[in-house]
Amino acid sequence: MKFKERLQYLRLEKELSEIQLSKKVGISESVIRLYERGKLRIDLEHLHKLAAFFDVTPGLLLGTAFPHLPPEEALESHRVVNELLEIRNEERKDDEDSLPYYIDSLTQTAAQSNKISANNKAPNWQAALRAGVVAVYNRIVSARSEANQEFIEDYWPVNTTVMQIYGQDISNYFYLRVNGDFMEPTIKNQSIVLVKRQAQVDNNDLAVVLYEQSPAAVKRLNRYEDKIILLCDNNAYPAQICEQEEYIILGKVLWKPK
């Protein structure tokens, strides 16, 4: 049972006896003892009291967060994630005013200029590149798969300013429609982002990532030792920790809509 192990670990980390913890959180010593021995199901009110005292989430205390890690590693991962969230939130404050100046131009160009309509798609990616446009995917299911052609909903141009900054090879770019509210408020559900294909991104960058046999998703990526932590900007969704062999980075998000 994860809960009893984590409760005991957190108590001992603070160098508290069962009776000392009892007095600090207002839960009887006998109940604390039963919790740590796995003899009593945790009361919801007690769960929130203990989580608040130890400055962890209820999920971390219960064992639903980082379920495969022992208490010490789970707590360390939890703290790393919280530090990254604090950094992300600080950066978000200035985010609206720091977007590249070419975004409005790019949005207008994509919507109005050189656009191949969804009903008149280019027959293949070579034809699209010759036309100066790249695919707008509503879904990507693998790094390189012909099945992804089925998920192309349109073709849009790439602004010349973008290519001057990030490289002139138009084949390195694609658009992706974001499905879900995982990245709100930074990126709204159904927004379309421009992505540059690359296998490496910096910590705290927005990246398009394939993992767990799921369609590609936009996540905020951070490395921790030999793992990566995938963060959602919507705090309602927990962070995910992936081993190196469990994920593929498809590219870096270059811009996102206001």
147 and 78 in a common domain: no
Q: Quick one: 175 and 236 in the same domain?
A: yes
Domain count of the fold of the chain: 2
178 has pLDDT over 90: yes
Percent over 70 (pLDDT), the chain? 79
| pTM score | 0.57
pLDDT tens column, 79-88:
877 776 676 6
Asked whether residue 28 is assigned to any structural domain, the reply reads yes
User: Are both 121 and 88 inside the same structural domain?
Assistant: no
SS (H, E, C) the chain: CHHHHHHHHHHHHCCCCHHHHHHHHCCCHHHHHHHHCCCCCCCHHHHHHHHHHHCCCHHHHHCCCCCCCCHHHHHHHHHHHHHHHHHHHHHHHCCCCCCCCCHHHHHHHHHHCCCECHHHCCCCHHHHHHCCEEEEECCCCCCCCHHHHHHEEEEEECCHHHHHHHCCCHHHEEEEECCCCCCCCCCCCCCEEEEEECCCCCCCEEEEEEECCCCCEEEEEEEECCEEEEECCCCCCCCEEEEHHHEEEEEEEEECCC
Across 13-17, 150-154, 169-173, 243-247, least confident range: 243-247
Decide which of 65, 93, 121 is a domain's last residue: 93
Mean per-residue pLDDT over the chain, rounded: 79
pLDDT on residue 63: 83
Which domain covers residue 58, as residue numbers? 2-93
Residue 123 predicted with pLDDT over 50: no
- Judged against a pLDDT cut of 70, whether residue 102 lies above it is answered with no
Looking up residue 58, the CATH number of its domain turns out to be 1.10.260.40
Residues 51 and 177 in one domain: no
Are residues 110 and 233 both part of a single domain? yes
